[in-house]
Amino acid sequence: MDNTDSLKAEDINEMPDMPLDFLSKLKENFNIKGQKPDAYSALTLAYIGDAFYDLVIRTLVIAEKNRKVNDLHKTTSSIVNAKSQAELVTIIMNSLTEKERDIYHRGRNAKSPTMAKNATVHDYRIATGFEALIGYLYMNNEEDRAIELINKGLKKMGYFT
């Protein structure tokens, strides 16, 4: 066994040329085993995808300017909702790979026991598909692809240009 097989977190932190993504850091520091993204249910992927998307949007909102927390919340909520997500996914649909479309459809078709307030069933299901896709990409260590898709959609919607 060579030295690369026994790297520890502190070793990796001393190697600036070796990037380590967020999920890998979590797995390393909390000893998370996890599963392959295909093994998770569509609603589980949507659950984590919603959190990832929310974090991206919150980061972009606070980067715009410092403002009152209530203003930050209102701006974020206007973007992180089923209607906006349904619009975003419509914009990026032609950019998705076949695998990504499959994941999106799996999420869209999942039967959720809950329903978002202020959303149509149609928009809610599309948003769930989008969140499942983002969750899948995150759990597959493809954060760059998730951010690329989010960026493309947001720019075409006129956000953060």
Domain boundaries in the chain?
1-34, 36-157
pLDDT tens digits, residue range 79-106? 999 999 999 999 999 999 999 999 999 9
Structure token pair of residue 133: 């896709």
Separation of alpha carbons 107 and 84, rounded Å: 17
Q: Does the active-site annotation cover 50?
A: yes
Q: Which of 2, 38, 50, 71 is catalytic?
A: 50
pLDDT tens digits, residue range 95-142? 999 999 999 999 999 987 777 778 899 999 999 999 999 999 999 999
What pTM was estimated for this model as a whole?
0.84
Top-level class of domain 36-157: mainly alpha
> Whose CA is closest to 136, among 15, 76, 49, 8?
49
pLDDT tens digits, residue range 29-41? 888 887 899 999 9
